[in-house]
């Protein structure tokens, strides 16, 4: 989707100003936001791609005026309501009022280290690669209303396949309950001129990891 989260190459937002010695969390509630999101994800009602889409698919004014963990909390509220774990009345009252869905599982405190260490592997067996290292490819030019991991700045651009990876869950379908539909992933390198135009620094390159369906032979 073309959302406010996809900022690559956009102008007018000012320079990135890294915070010196930035803490992991700026407030205690941010720790809780992260913990709630991870614990709720363990309920088994949604996957990481649906979770990401719930955070990114927001009105630009809302997204750009919210802090990082505010976006996480807003995304979590959307997921919990969508899957029947909370209602609008629950949120308004700050407590459980309406009947709720039963989770598939509950993450217990003593199990957290093992669950986090295990992670959520998303590599899957797939077909023979369509491309090989050194191939010229062109990314597709599309503007989906749903989820995609192909950034706007890299659409309809010509690049070179640098690395052929294994297969991974396709987020564009997985985010919408349409199945994993795994595809092979390729690292594609673009010149700065291809991305930013003739005034770009000729020494710059940009690389992305692209699912196979994003690419066509050049």
Is a pLDDT exceeding 90 seen at residue 2?
no
Total tally of structural domains belonging to the chain? 2
CA distance 46 to 40: 9
158: domain CATH number is 2.30.30.50
Average pLDDT of the residues of the chain: 94
- Which tens digit of pLDDT belongs to each residue from 94-109? 999 999 999 999 999 9
87: domain CATH number is 1.10.472.20
The number of helices, as runs of H, and strands, as runs of E, in the chain is: 8, 6
The pLDDT-based confidence of 89 (bands split at 50, 70, 90) is very high
Distances in whole angstroms, Cα of residue 151 to Cα of each of 1, 29, 49, 134, 143 = 9, 31, 15, 22, 10
Domain that holds residue 160: 123-217
- pLDDT score of 102: 95
Cβ–Cβ under 8 Å, residues 124 and 167: yes
């Amino acid at each position: 989707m073309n959302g406010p989260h996809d900022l690559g190459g956009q102008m007018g937002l000012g320079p990135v100003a890294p915070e010196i010695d930035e803490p992991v969390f700026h407030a205690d509630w941010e720790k809780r936001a992260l913990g709630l999101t991870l614990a709720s994800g363990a309920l088994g009602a949604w996957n990481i791609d649906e979770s990401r889409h719930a955070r990114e698919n927001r009105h630009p004014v809302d997204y750009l005026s919210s802090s990082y963990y505010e976006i996480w909390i807003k995304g979590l509220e959307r997921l919990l309501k969508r899957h029947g774990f909370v209602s609008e009345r629950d949120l308004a009252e700050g407590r459980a009022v309406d009947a709720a869905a039963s989770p598939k599982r509950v993450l217990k405190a003593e199990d957290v280290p093992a669950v986090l260490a295990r992670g959520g592997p998303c590599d899957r067996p797939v077909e023979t690669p369509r491309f090989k290292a050194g191939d010229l490819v062109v990314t597709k030019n599309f503007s989906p209303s749903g989820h995609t991991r192909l950034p706007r700045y890299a659409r309809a651009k010509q690049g070179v396949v640098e690395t052929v990876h294994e297969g991974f869950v396709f987020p564009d379908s997985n985010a919408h309950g349409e199945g994993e539909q795994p595809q092979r992933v390729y690292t594609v390198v673009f010149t700065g001129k291809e991305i930013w135009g003739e005034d770009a620094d000729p020494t710059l390159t940009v690389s992305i990891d692209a699912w196979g369906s994003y690419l066509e032979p050049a």
